[in-house]
Amino acid sequence: MSATQTPSVPSVERALLILEALSAGRTGLTLSQIARKTGVAKSSAHCLLLTLERLNYLEREETTGRYAMGSKFFSLANRGLTSATIGRQALPHLLALAQRTGLTVHMAIFDGHEAVLIERIEPSGASRIPTWVGKRMGLHCTAVGKALAAHMPTEEVERLVAAHGLLRHNDNTIRSLKRLKEELDRVHQSGYALDDEEEEIGARCLGVPVFRDGRAVAAISIAGNTEQNTPSGLGSLLEELRAAALAISQAG
């Protein structure tokens, strides 16, 4: 059977109709308005809306009963758009950075409450770092996470910590909100973040943000073991890292 002959799934079609209707509304829509605009029966629309709300793709305002796009929908859209465009534009700069430093290079974006790796380049001979594309990394204990979190509003950082806590990886991991806020202030002032064996013992990472239109939309880092990434060599590595981040920022 050809693709054109394969039947569609009606419930998926109806859910997409609802999402399209909501994307066109500025102030959200009630159940009745959604049913009228999409032609989906109220009972079916209610079940679909409830499912999408439970999965955080939609949000419902209690007082008005209006539905609107939820945080997960925007996070998913942002992640796909950002990783597709910035990742493609950044790749040649990341490859060059990995070759110049001999260290593993990462690129990450903010997703949900963590940083997620969208690029990873390991040059020949580099020390093996236990990371992979798609790995989710804490905002409090990784160089890319701190570089992104340092440019978030303080209230957002507080909300994320209250909701998800600060996972302990070892004795070096930041475990208090007070200390995290102090660290993020330092990162914001200095322009770079350091993961000094805070997630993985024996690994040291240096990270900086990538900006578009004045907003930190991604972060890049160079990672190696503590013998490769020594405190005395961080200055020259930071210079290379900042140059790559600036080139990527300007590529858009």
Outline where DSSP puts E strands in the chain. 58-60, 67-69, 104-111, 114-121, 136-137, 193-196, 203-212, 215-225
pLDDT band for position 5 (50/70/90)? low
pLDDT classification of 98: cutoffs 50, 70, 90: very high
β-partners of residue 60 are: 67
Domains and CATH numbers, the chain: 10-69 (1.10.10.10), 74-251 (3.30.450.40)
Other CB atoms within a 10 A radius of the CB of residue 192 amount to: 22
The string of pLDDT tens digits covering residues 121-165 is: 999 888 888 899 889 999 999 999 999 999 999 999 999 999 999
